[in-house]
Amino acid sequence: MSRIGKKPVSIPQGVEVTVQVNQVAVKGPKGTLSLTAHNDVKVIVVENEVKVEPKGTNGKAAAIWGTTAKLIANMIEGVTTGFEKKLELNGVGFRMAIAGKNINLALGFSHPVVVPIPDGIEAKIENNILSFSGIDKQQVGQFAAEVRQLKPVEPYKGKGFRYVGEFVIRKEGKKTSA
């Protein structure tokens, strides 16, 4: 039994949830998101709540039940408040700038790195913090992970991209014998 799947997802005011066959559409003040629900679950809208129920007792239905409920809850949160990820860039000579729909990065390579910003994501730079925001949690998190992967933080000097608040264990360098 899924503890997350048992709980109904509440629908705040200003958000409209529609279900047609296996298509779930959520419309709110920030935009519209849709999800194709799995065939092993049934999505029902009752008053101001969305309920997800498994169809049958097989293991696949039990596994996808709570996941579908959480995906719908994330869609509702996305169209009301949105999601945000912040990356911090540390390192001497490392720079970043936004030019139109691209992020220009100088990461210590022999060439500048240009990353196009996908539709549905807004990027801002304040000091050395790059923040991404949007209504789709998966899209925002995936894009932040892709940018972080360009220059992940290294353990010796702490240079590279890290999430704001992320703790990186620092290593001690080589010791010389005197």
Can you tell me the distance from the alpha carbon of 97 to that of 9, in angstroms, rounded to the nearest whole number? 40
- Average of per-residue pLDDT across 23-31: 94
Domain ranges of the chain: 3-80, 83-163
The architecture (CATH level 2) of 83-163 comes to Alpha-Beta Complex (3.90)
Is the pLDDT reported for residue 58 higher than 90?
no
**With 70 as the cut, is the pLDDT of residue 178 above it?**
no
Give the residue-averaged pLDDT of 131-143: 96
pLDDT confidence of residue 24: 94
Could you give the angle at the alpha carbon of 77 between the alpha carbons of 76 and 79, nearest 5°? Answer: 65
Query: Can you tell me the mean pLDDT for 165-170?
Result: 91
Closest by alpha carbon to 85, among 33, 139, 31? 139
pLDDT at 1 (0 to 100): 63
> Which pLDDT does position 85 carry in this prediction?
96
- Tell me what pLDDT residue 55 has: 87
**How far are the Cα atoms of 25, 40, 75, 147, 168 from residue 17, in angstroms, in the given order?**
6, 20, 10, 33, 41
Q: 83-163: same fold as 3-80?
A: yes
Q: What is the pLDDT of residue 90?
A: 92
Please name the fold of domain 3-80. Outer Surface Protein A; domain 3 (3.90.930)
- List CB contacts of 103: < 8 A, sequence separation 6 or more: 96, 97, 114, 115, 116, 117, 123, 130, 147
Phi, psi of 142 (to 5 degrees): -65, -40
pLDDT category of residue 177 using cuts at 50, 70 and 90:
confident
**Average pLDDT of the chain, as a whole number:** 92
Q: Is the pLDDT of residue 61 over 80?
A: yes
- The whole-number average pLDDT for the span 66-73 is 93
